[in-house]
Amino acid sequence: MTRRLSIAWPDPGPFATRDRPLRILAASDEVDPALDDERNREALGPIDLVVGCGDLSPDRLCFLADAFRAPLAYVRGNHDRGGPWPQPRQLPQPWERTSQDDSSGLPLLGLSWPTRDREPARHDERAAWRQVIRLAGTNLLVPPGGPTLIFSHVPPRGAGDTPGDPYHVGFQAYRFLLDRLKPPLWLHGHSAMAASPAWHVKAGRTAVVNVTGTVLIELTPAA
């Protein structure tokens, strides 16, 4: 079942040419079989952007983007990291930068699982710090204008993670980013719904949302 959430977005820019909320379908980790049914997809209404937060196959990502006729931005997780995906349809590269999505008008920053494919898929805080430092060193953390939507596979430490599970605890490096950039919205996967205290939490000014399965997020102009 697709969960729903409404978020007030502080920048009026993405709504300048819209007469309705900006609608994002975010997904990760688990396939939502309800979306295989066209009637269920139609019931969700129009989608402006599909966001993948890791551990979904390329076929599934392509299916969601094609079925909703929406652009796709995604990161890769611990189970789908590695080299290029061999598949017939061309996927865009993982979104590992800060830049504006032309279709939605939203500045996006994507953070894939930080360890390389030849390394074990273990929780590696040092790798997450290297990832953040590399982005900072190339100015890829500089927002291109307006508030940034951040999406990652692993959540920030202490915000939507599973503290009692050393493999599913959030990255402190990502918490540094959250506290520094203060994005209105941070989407993530990786944390099992059954083990998480809540699927969306507030961390300061940031709404942190666990999109395991699928979540429909409506961004509305802040009053």
Residue 64 class from Cβ within 10 Å (0-12 exposed, 13-18 middle, 19+ buried)?
buried
Largest Cα separation within the chain, whole Å, is: 48
The pLDDT assigned to 185 comes to 98
Determine the pLDDT at residue 78: 85
Alpha helices, H only, 100-154: 125-137
Per-residue confidence band for 143, with pLDDT thresholds at 50, 70 and 90: low
Res 64: pLDDT: 96
Confidence class of residue 94 from pLDDT cuts 50, 70 and 90? Answer: confident
pLDDT at 119 over 90: no
Contacts of 48 (CB under 8 A, 6+ apart): 22, 23, 24, 70, 103, 104
Q: Residue 184's pLDDT is what?
A: 96
Q: With a cut of 90, say whether residue 25 has pLDDT above it.
A: yes
Q: What is the pTM assigned to this prediction?
A: 0.90
Q: Compare 56 and 90 and report the one with higher pLDDT.
A: 56
Give me the mean pLDDT over the 130-146 stretch.
74
Whether the pLDDT of residue 98 is over 80: the answer is no
Answer yes or no: is pLDDT of 45 > 60: yes
pLDDT reported for residue 88? 44
pLDDT exceeds cutoff 90 at 146: no
Three-state secondary structure call for residue 5: strand
Q: What is the pLDDT of residues 74-93, one digit of tens each?
A: 999 987 644 555 554 556 67
- Residue 166: per-residue pLDDT: 73
Residue 10 is predicted with a pLDDT of 96
- So what's the pLDDT on residue 1? 86
Say what percent of the chain tops pLDDT 90: 61
Give the per-residue pLDDT at 117: 64
In the chain, where the domains are located: 3-221
In angstroms, rounded to a whole number, what is the distance separating the alpha carbons of residues 131 and 67?
33
pLDDT at 95 over 60: yes
Average pLDDT, integer, range 203-213:
96
CATH number for the domain formed by residue range(s) 3-221:
3.60.21
